[in-house]
Amino acid sequence: MIRRDEFASIANNGLWKQNSSLVQILGMCPLLAVTTNATNGAMLSLATLLVMALSGAAVASLRHLIPHEIRIPVFILIVATLVTMVDLAFNAGLHGLYLVLGIFIPLIVTNCIVLARVEAFAAKNPPLHSALDGVFMGLGMLWTLSLLGGLRELIGAGTLLSGIELVIPGTHALRLLPEDYPGLLLASLPPGAFILLGCLIAWKNWMEARAARAKRPPLPHSPSSPAPAAAGPQG
C-alpha cells in the first residue's frame, strides 16, 4: 500500500513542483498544436494520462524482468503498444474528437514526458506508486493544457470549450465575450501558445518566489540579501 506522505509527494510533484508543461517543458509539440481550445487540450491530456498511468503500472510490474541493457527498447515497446490501444479506443468510441486530435494521439509515444516518467520513476518504484505518478503527471498536464487552451480560445475568439459537442453530444461551446468581439488571431496561432505559456511559467515562478519569501523571514541588517532563486525550468 501507499503511505499518506508518499501520496502527497507524488501528487504535489505531478500537479505543481515537476509540472510537465510548466517546469519540465516537455511535450511542446502537442501543446502548441492542440491547445487551440480547452476541450482539445483536456482530451489530449486525458489520453496522455491514461497512457502514463498504464505504462507506469506495466513497467513497474515488469521491472524485475527487464534486463538493464534493453530497458529502453522494452519501455518504448510497452508505451507504443499502450498508445496504439488508446488510439484505437479513441477512434472507436470518440470518432469526432479523434478526427480533431488526429496525429497527436499516436505522437504521445514521442512525448518525452511518458518515457521520462517510466525511466525516472516506474523503473524504480512499485506499480501502485508508478500508476499514481502517471495519473498526477497527467493531471498536471491536464490543468495546464486546459488553462492554456481556454485562454487561447477566449482571447482568440471569445468562446470557451468549443468542440465540447464532439465529446458530449448535445452540449455547445460557451460564448463569454460579446458576439461582435473581433478576436485576436495571434492567440489562436502557435506563437500565441508560446507567449501565453511564457506568461503561465512566469506566474508559477512568481507564486513560488512569493511562497519562498513568506517561508523565510527577512534577515535583519541585510537589505541587500539576494532574493530567493525562483524555480526555473529544468530539462
Partner 1 sequence: MHGPQPPMPGTTPPAPAGVIGAAAMARCTALILFVFVIVFTGLLAGAYRLTRPAIEASAREEKMRLINEVLPPGSYDNDLLADALALPATPELGLPDGGQVLRARKQGRPAALVLEAVAPDGYAGAIRLVLAVGADGRLLGVRVTQHKETPGLGDYIDPNKDKNKAHPWIGQFAGLSLADVPASGWRVKKDGGRFDSVAGATVTPRAVVKAVKKALDFAAARGEALYAVSAKEQP
DSSP string spanning 47-104?
HHHHHHHHHHHHHHHHTTTS-GGGHHHHHHHHHHHHHHHHHHHHHHH-HHHHHHHGGG
Return the number of the residue (30 or 158) whose C-beta is nearest partner 1.
158
Return the number of the residue (38 or 201) whose C-beta is nearest partner 1.
38
- Residues 6 or more apart whose CB falls under 8 angstroms from that of 78 comprise 55, 58, 59, 62, 118
Q: State the minimum distance, in angstroms, from the CB of residue 141 to partner 1.
A: 24
End-to-end alpha carbon distance in the chain: 31
CB burial of residue 171 (10 Å; 0-12, 13-18, 19+): exposed
Grid cell listed for 34: 492542440
Return the number of the residue (13 or 188) whose C-beta is nearest partner 1.
188
Nearest residue to 48 (alpha-carbon basis) of 4, 96, 107, 95:
107
Residues 210-214: contacts with CB within 8 Å, 24+ apart? none
Q: State the minimum distance, in angstroms, from the CB of residue 205 to partner 1.
A: 30
The amino acid sitting at 56 is G
Return the number of the residue (2 or 99) whose C-beta is nearest partner 1.
99
Interface residues toward partner 1, by CB under 8 A: 36, 65-70, 73-74, 77-78, 81, 84-85, 88-89, 91-93, 95-96, 99, 156-157, 183, 185, 188-189
Q: State the minimum distance, in angstroms, from the CB of residue 2 to partner 1.
A: 27
Q: State the minimum distance, in angstroms, from the CB of residue 81 to partner 1.
A: 4
Return the number of the residue (67 or 226) whose C-beta is nearest partner 1.
67
Q: State the minimum distance, in angstroms, from the CB of residue 28 to partner 1.
A: 20
